[in-house]
Homo-oligomer: A and B are copies of this chain.
C-alpha cells in the first residue's frame, strides 16, 4: 500500500475512453489539458505556521480533475499511479 505524506495524494488515472461515463471530455484546444483520476490514498494534511494540521478536502474514492503536468508517475505491484499535491486538484466530480 502507498501512503502519501502531508498534502500529497495517490490517484489512479482514468483513461480518455472511460471519460464519457462520468462526462468529462478534455478539449484538445485547451492550452493545459486537465485529466481525470480516482483517489486511492490521501496524505495526513497540511501543517500551518500555527502548528494546526488542516485535513485534505479530497477523500479516498473521490473522482477528481487535475492539471495534466502535475505529479510523479509510479508503478506499484503492477499498477500505474500518479502522486500529486492537493493544490493540483481542480475539482471533485460529484
Contact = CB atoms under 8 A, between A and B. Distances in A.
Interface of A: 1-6, 8, 10, 23-27, 29-32, 34, 41, 44, 46-52, 54, 57-58, 65, 67, 72-78, 80, 83, 86-87, 89-94
Given A24-B76, A34-B72, A58-B5, A50 B50 contact: yes
A75 to B, nearest CB: 4
B91 A27 contact: no
A29 B74 contact: no
A65 B74 CA distance: 9
Contacts of A1: 93-94
Given A3-B92, A8-B91, A48-B51, A72 B67 contact: yes
